[in-house]
Amino acid sequence: MNVKIVKNLNDNGNILALTFFEDEKVLKSSSRDLDNKLKGFVKDKIFLAKFGKLYSACVSDMKCSKVLLVGLGKKKDLTLEKVRKIIGKIVGFTRSEKRNNFSTDLSEKVAGLFDAEDLGRAFGETLELSNYGFDKYLNKERHKKKVEDVGLIFSKVGPKFLEGVRVGKIIGESSNFTKDLVNDHPGVVTPTFLEKTARAMEKKHTKIKVKVLNKNEMEKLGMNAILGVARGSVEAPKLIIIEYRGGAKSEKFKAFVGKGITFDSGGYNLKPTGYMEDMKCDMGGAGAVLGTMRSIAHLGLKQNILGVIPTCENMIGANAQRPGDIVKAYNGKTIEILNTDAEGRLILADALAYTDDKYKPEIMVDLATLTGACVVALGYFATAVMGKDNDLCQELVVAGEKSGDRVWQLPFYEDFHDHMNGSISDLQNISKEGRGAGSITAGVFLSKFVDKARWAHLDIAGSAFFAKAHGYNQKGATGAGVRVLSYWLLNR
């Protein structure tokens, strides 16, 4: 998508989207002629500028095909997230009209209310996010037209806003990159496909180096937790390691570890109909790591970042892992498998322990579509964060609020910390206390595999995949994790 700054209403596109606050007594644009034509809308109370309300009309003697009036609500109530939602509505309207460009005065109207760079980022990322569509398997006649050109009416644009737009577009494009991975079907997106995706990134960016541990190497290293999950599948497991070196050689890595179950049948604890169909999304954490690494590389961040992806399928077969089996993880801890559908924590266990031991990162954050309990607790519009490092958790909460990729901290009381202890093994993979606090006890399990790094766990089970469109996100993958991690790194 091309974004340009235009100075006045004459430089408009197919759609001219004009924005108005509810508390404006008279709708005023920067064109007197247009103001006269808009008066009737106000007089007849057709358009009252309530937040998110749209009214479109064909106006004579205008270059545009339609004028779209957009309500911003009350000025005191406007937030950056509401700005994102307005951008999404304008893009959505333009696409519904089968037009490929629009101009809007939204940038000028709200410029004084927010930091210029933050506002630019919100514009850049949301223009990309709301323009997304996964049409790879649709006939061409079913492809929805996308917006190609956007004119932002801004008489006094500054460099900070423009830089924000540049950064925001990269983050939005990287989130869409993740959406493509999560939306595609599991016959395509296999562990081998994820490896090829990482290798392609390595070829494109000189600061990225990729290393992949195969099944034989994992057997030698004692990664029996991930190997156990993979036993029922013909797809070989992999541990994909992506190194990005943008900082000094002496600088420690910040590591992102993403769960990469490319299809989750539940194993012998088989998922029922209605829950299995979307389990292509169980590699949402891996997708978020790949999208974040893309964002980092395109932004050229001067930090050392490590992306780690344990990936396999969780299937049923003659050799599949059974409830009651006991495996020994990379760090020597034994785990009794009481539920084969609690598999994500198993593959993360080996990945976290290996990364902590071999790379000794300063900070480690894992992302996983880990628990249905997280959806029960928070629904679909926030990611859960937890861990012993409260400062790190709060940094991610702040980055989530700023980016719109929202994060909510769950308690990690010591009272929970023995709930995953086993009776005939060091640990068991589901809580001995039952289903209560399921997201937290899953996080407790993961904490047993991190000794040195500052660590936080992001459960994106609800936020990674929407059953229906909401705001500027379409049905399906949302790219959850990419924005919050990108903002967190930029804040640092």
d(CA 363, CA 252): 9
* 84 is known as an active-site residue: no
Burial of 205 (0-12, 13-18, 19+ CB in 10 A): middle
**What contacts 24+ positions apart, CB below 8 Å, involve 408-413?**
408/378, 408/382, 408/383, 408/384, 409/384, 409/385, 410/377, 410/384, 410/385, 410/386, 410/439, 410/440, 410/443, 411/386, 411/440, 412/386, 412/387, 412/388, 412/440, 412/443, 412/444
User: Which of 7, 271, 328, 388 is an active site residue?
Assistant: 271
Rounded to the nearest 5°, which phi and psi values hold at 28? -125, 125
| DSSP bridge partners of 366 | 257, 457
Going by the DSSP 8-state scheme, the letter that residue 360 receives in this structure is: -
Given the residues 89, 345, 402, 483, the one annotated as active site: 345
Three-state DSSP class for 293? helix
The region, left, alpha or beta by phi > 0 then psi within -120 to 50, assigned to residue 364 is beta
Buried b (16+ CB within 10 A) or exposed e, 451-484: eebbbbbbbbbbbbbbeeeebbbbebbbbbbbbb
For residue 264, the cross-strand partners are 314
Neighbours of 268 (CB within 10 A): 16
> Rounded to 5, what percent of the chain is helix, strand, coil?
40, 20, 40
Q: Cα-atom radius of gyration of the chain, to the nearest Å?
A: 24
Asked if 215 is an active-site residue, the reply is no
**Residues with catalytic function:** 271, 345
